[in-house]
Amino acid sequence: MFRLRATIFIFIFFLSGNQVFSQLTSEAQIDTGRIDGAIYRIVIPENWNHNLVMYAHGYESPSMVHTPERFHNPVADRSVQPFLDRGFAVARSAYRKTGFALAEGVEDTEALRQYFVNTYGQPDTTYITGHSMGGGITLATIENFPQYYQGALPMCPLASRPYMQVKVAFDINAVFGAFYPGVLPPLADVLNGTAPSLSQAAIQQAVQQDTALADQIARRFEYQRKDLAMIVMFNDGVLRDIGQQAGGNPFDNRNTLYTGFPDDWELNQKVERLAVDPGTEWFLNQYDRTGKINRPVLILHTIYDQLISATMAVVNYDNRVHETDSDQYLVVLYTPGQGHCQFTPEETGIAFDILRRWAATGNRPVSGPIE
């Protein structure tokens, strides 16, 4: 899984070549290198308290190129400054590939954790955190490797089951295409890689031609009209990425009943219907959400997020956790932020401090607004 850019929220940390140790400043030791093709970066502050944060970054455009310049970008370190300020070492992997890389993110983050332990020794405590898709990697990690962590801080996370999470992007674009015919290419072409590229300006122009309709579409999916063109454009890119990686269309909306729009009857007659292409189901089944957790998990979300709605980031996972009788391990905090992962450093630090106290004392904090 990205602070917010026009259509993507991303933290990038890249380096090529073998392992390198350098002293970036008098305050931090930097360890960079590559593990099984995945570039990594470790920052150990001068006042290291022998604790560790594993950080998982968010979704990257598949066209993104991993370069040393991006890896050494000081923004990368500022993004995790709240953890470094508290004396924690921070380790993060760039993953073996860009694009939708939930499975690679889980596995490469675990490989990096093992490297850190083998190189620097077992930390006193270890936490995992991440933004957006990295929040989904955080949840998948705490579900599958809980024995290595004291707790998890998924922020603005890809928290729903992967299929459900990305099918929302499919459904938004299917609905938009039905109400604004001719603006988007067929989803079948998007997913099989034959669709022409899109123009966000053209989508925005269509939205302006019927703003009342755009308002209803946006609200139905928990978004605002001002963000609809960007959302549709972003969804198109993600669907192209997934279609290429999965080898076709992994979605089935033949039984989907689209409701809550100006004319549901007309919409359901017009919307494009697709069946799953055989052999593609595996892609979105990797590290599927179980909701089974046995370590403190604190989800941090903004009150409005134009890429991952509250339902997808919080409600669905809360229900999943409830089904496994793991409610005592989940707390949700929210901020007044108006954008994807738009947390202040202070809000991130407060949430992390609450998580640490919970892990240390066993006293579950109260869910609600962050204070």
CA distances from 129 to 45, 88, 96, 200, 299 (A): 18, 13, 19, 32, 10
What's the confidence (pLDDT) of residue 78?
78
Nearest Cα to 55, choosing from 8, 2, 97?
Answer: 2
Nearest Cα to 159, choosing from 107, 102, 105?
Answer: 102
Q: What are φ and ψ of residue 131, in 5° steps? A: -105, 145
List the domains of the chain with CATH numbers. Answer: 20-160+289-369 (3.40.50.1820), 162-284 (no CATH)
What's the confidence (pLDDT) of residue 337?
96
Q: Are 302 and 337 in contact (CB under 8 A)?
A: yes
Total-model pTM: 0.92
Place of tokens 């994807």: 340
Give the Cα separation of 138 and 160 in Å (integer).
12
What's the confidence (pLDDT) of residue 77?
75
Report which DSSP code applies to 287: T
Provide the terminal-to-terminal Cα distance of the chain, rounded to the nearest Å.
26
Q: Is 196 helix (H, G, I), strand (E, B) or coil?
A: coil
What's the confidence (pLDDT) of residue 314?
98
Mean pLDDT by 10 residues, the chain (371 residues): 34 32 56 92 95 96 73 72 96 94 97 98 98 97 98 98 97 97 97 95 95 96 97 97 97 98 96 98 96 98 97 97 98 97 96 98 97 76
Give the Cα separation of 331 and 364 in Å (integer).
8
Instruction: Give the β-pairing of 368-369 and 20-25.
Output: unpaired
Annotate 206-237 with b (16+ C-beta within 10 A) or e (fewer): bbeeeeebbeebbebbebebebbbbbbbbbbb
What's the confidence (pLDDT) of residue 309?
97
**Length reported for the chain:** 371
What's the confidence (pLDDT) of residue 74?
67
